[in-house]
Amino acid sequence: MQNTPVSSLVGEEYEVEVGPVAHGGHCIARTEAGRVLFVRHALPGERVRARVTEGEETSRFLRADAVEILEASKDRIEAPCPFAGPGKCGGCDWQHAKPGAQRRLKGEVIAEQLKRLAGLTPEEAGWDGTVVPAEGDKLPAGQVPQWRTRVQYAVDVEGHAGLRRHRSHEVEVVDHCMIAAEGVSELGIEKRTWEGMASIEAIAATGSQDRQVILTPRPGARLPIVELDKPVSVLRVEEKDGGVHRVHGRPFVRERADDRTYRVGNGGFWQVHPKAADTLMKAVMQGLLPRKGEMALDLYCGVGLFAGALADRLGDQGAVLGIESGKRAVEDARHNLAGFPRVRIEQGKVESVLPRTGITDVDLIVLDPPRAGAGKDTVRHLTNLGARRIAYVACDPAALARDLGYFREGGYRVRTLRAFDLFPMTHHVECVAILEPVKKDA
């Protein structure tokens, strides 16, 4: 018996009314036959002609681009970037929306995820429903904040630098990225060819003049001589082990936050928006209100941003334990926090290291997990430690909402939630939730 070939619907076009925004930078629409479309480059309430980019007859939903706007939203503007639009660069999701509308859309996504995955209304989460722009980012429509201090360029087979198209390995060659920070743009990466390279990550530190590029060669390719428009350190990703190794210059950049310098080595994690580290640190500290002498945990601690802020405020009698899986990040965290004798940094996965510490009670917890969230087992462990307050920093509203549901099962409620637009023009948003134990009736 032969299998009937599945018919691709890529290229098919539908005229649709665009419905609500969904998590992921698109809106939901339905064809006259009831088939669900996830439509990019559209806005709620518009009527558009949508062309399918992914999907087959048997697919639960289709992905599509709005290729013609038949009835436009009042929130629509012409995309400032010439590389934004159907079939072009996938780096931005909302170039076609006014800045205020972008933040409203992100707020709607957070509210929908909280309701669907945690059963919480904004009021129950202590959230006023707003997404706050970073300092200096409130610009008129048509102007774009230059916020991305770390840009991952892809390189095509001819050596031209660009950015990936949406859900594709294809490279959109660009001569300038509008959301790149000035320190990245001034390197001039797009102006030269990069023969033999697969990708280039450019980093412009906040609070120092440190600039760094990390080159990933194609298999068997030799590293080029790097001559850019500004002084820069060069690192390379090794083909054999995937490790990052210094070619010349410093193997780290120096970042500033909370009036302290943090060393971040080998392209390690640091918040991308220049205002993000301070914005999130302040939100966490305002929510936790650390007291002298308390014991705190900083989970997924990276190079020690929150651990340092906590140690500073807990004083000589306080103590902080940080846990981080990345070996180089742990080395950096220990270096960055060497002036705090009562800070300890352990290397390993949180779910493995935390049970081995023997810690049974703490006063404060900060967790800043990766995009997938902390997960049920880790949250269950944390709710048994009796912390008076927990700060959860989240870059993904779906993972945050799932974990908030687990915290509720463990006897914690959300005291406050704040949302920050630290990724303008994209669908990404950062949240800080402050949790506390539910008071038991006497």
Q: Which residues carry out catalysis?
A: 395
- For 284: left if phi > 0, alpha if psi spans -120 to 50, otherwise beta; the answer is alpha
The closest of 263, 293, 257 to 276, measured between CA atoms, is 257
Residue 251 burial by CB count (10 A; 0-12/13-18/19+): exposed, middle or buried? middle
Angle at 248 between CA 155 and CA 225, to 5 degrees: 45
Half-sphere exposure of 17 (CA within 13 A, CB side): 5
> Alpha-carbon distance 123 to 117, whole Å?
16
Residue 198 has φ and ψ, to the nearest 5°, of -95, -35
> Alpha-carbon distance 379 to 373, whole Å?
10
Find out whether 244 and 236 touch, Cβ atoms under 8 Å: yes
